[in-house]
Amino acid sequence: MHSASLIVDPAFRIGAVDPRLYGSFVEHLGRCVYTGIYEPGHPTADADGFRQDVVELVRGIDVPIVRYPGGNFVSAYNWEDGIGPAADRPTRIDLAWRSIEANQVGVDEFQRWAGQVGAETMMAVNLGTRGIDEARAFVEYCNHPSGTAWSDRRRANGATDPYGIKVWCLGNEMDGPWQIGHKTAFDYGRLAAEAGKAMRLVDPGIELVISGSSGSKMPTFGTWERIALTEAYDTVDHISMHSYYQQHGDDRDSFLASAVDTDQFIEAVVATADHVRAVGRHSKRLTIAYDEWNVWYQSRFAGEENLPISEAPALIEDVYSVTDAVVVGNLLISLLRHADRVKIGCQAQLVNVIAPIMTAKGGPAWRQTIYHPYALTSRYGRGTVLRLETQSPSHETAAHGEVPLLDAVAVLQDDDQGLALFAVNRDQHEQMAVDVDVRSLPHLTTGEHLALADDDPEAVNDRDNPDRVTPRRLADPKLDGGRLQVVLPPLSWNLIRLTS
């Protein structure tokens, strides 16, 4: 058995958790919308066609914000196609995912769905095939009270009150050659600056997200951020980051350490943004919208260019193992560890497409393994993140070099009456005894330990066995003189809750 230790002290605070860190993403891709969140005729569907079994599972995560409608989809999307009487809406070919888009779900329907699950919308505008005029009109439609052409059109469509959408994405992954309307960093930065300026003239209270690199392995990474931000720094509030991870071959050790790459990626983007701030002598400090992240086995995907054109095809429906869930839980630890700069996070995506929730058309919905660390971190990871002093054994990985076997973060509740410690044991075979020093929080007296682990690292949840992998309660930790010891199972994600 390995031995490790960590010290928790409320004096060492990283920053407050923005609840939007636990956001998600719904794109018109595959079955995320159609037969995912929306399926008229389903036994649980409401009058708008939204599946209430899915609504209940989304509520279980307590998702505060959902990015919509893309993703690659947005870069050739006409938002006007999705408003007005459903029978009059055009059917289009979606060039991003080679799908037929019937436009039966648009902004008005999505806003009603978001209200059901208690989430705000993080709306994306098309800066691929469209630009300034369409973007400012979209804000006017959504956020202006009344008395203008677009706001009165919204009212005529049944929404008397403005939606008040606060966060807007200025396009998506515009550095990617696969993107419809792909641009150079300079051209995109100028367009983002001017579109954002016009949007903010319509509604001065909105927050704007500029597209950063679509991944840290892009050849333009770093340079893209620097050039685009140089043009648009004063216009925007956040810069986006996207990353996906998968296991390559039998190298599970490297996969389990994926959060090491996330840490380095975040720190590189922060350094670049702060460089532009210093050179430009800007006063404000940008924060990060990590608005696409997850485990995604991209090597299993044939690529959109090889897809036949079809309606609501089953695309990128990865089935997740307990190993994948441990990695997802560790990525959440990484986001929390940077809570001073990462203010928005969107796990991609919410339903069916690389998702924590799966559905069968006409049938049930169930939780994938990755649902559980996401839901529990969202529920208990609210408050102030503390910087830990950790001592851990380490091992060598092919992709990341030497990494610690223990990775952890602590979140102190706002009233200081509770503490949530999130921890992973990256060792595939050995337990880890962790000595936790909480003497600086003497009022904490009782504890609970939940672990997500399984004897089979490839165990999954599916339609026939939806609860094969769920968190289980281990022996409750006993505090003795402000210290406790917990034993983390091998290859596990853990939540240790301490209360008064």
Indicate which residues carry an active-site annotation: 173, 292
Q: Can you tell me the distance from the alpha carbon of 295 to that of 226, in angstroms, rounded to the nearest whole number?
A: 27
Both tokens of 120, joined, read 């705000």
| 60: amino acid identity, one letter | G
CA distance 5 to 282: 41
Q: How far apart are CA 220 and CA 6, in angstroms?
A: 38
State the alpha helices, DSSP H only, in 216-347: 223-232, 252-256, 258-280, 322-337
In the block, which residue shows the tokens 């008397």?
160
Which residues lie across from 498 on neighbouring strands?
A: 419, 447
87 Cβ partners below 8 Å, 6+ apart?
none
Q: Which residue, 168, 107, 172, is CA-closest to 141?
A: 107
The answer to whether 287 touches 237, Cβ cutoff 8 Å, is yes
Q: Phi and psi dihedrals of 15, rounded to 5?
A: 165, 170
Q: Which residue reads 């994948």 in tokens?
A: 324
Helices assigned H by DSSP within 63-184: 107-117, 132-143, 149-156
Which is nearest to 73 in space by CA: 31, 50, 49, 101?
Answer: 101
Q: 170 — alpha (psi -120 to 50), left (phi > 0) or beta?
A: beta
How big, in percent rounded to 5, are the helix, strand and coil portions of the chain?
30, 25, 45
What count of other Cβ atoms lies within 10 Å of the Cβ of residue 437?
17
Phi and psi for 190 in degrees, rounded to 5? -65, -45
**Spatial separation of the C-alpha atoms in residues 355 and 470, rounded to whole Å:** 16
Q: Are strands 13-16 and 406-412 parallel, antiparallel or unpaired?
A: unpaired
Query: CA 494 to CA 454: how far, in whole Å?
Result: 12
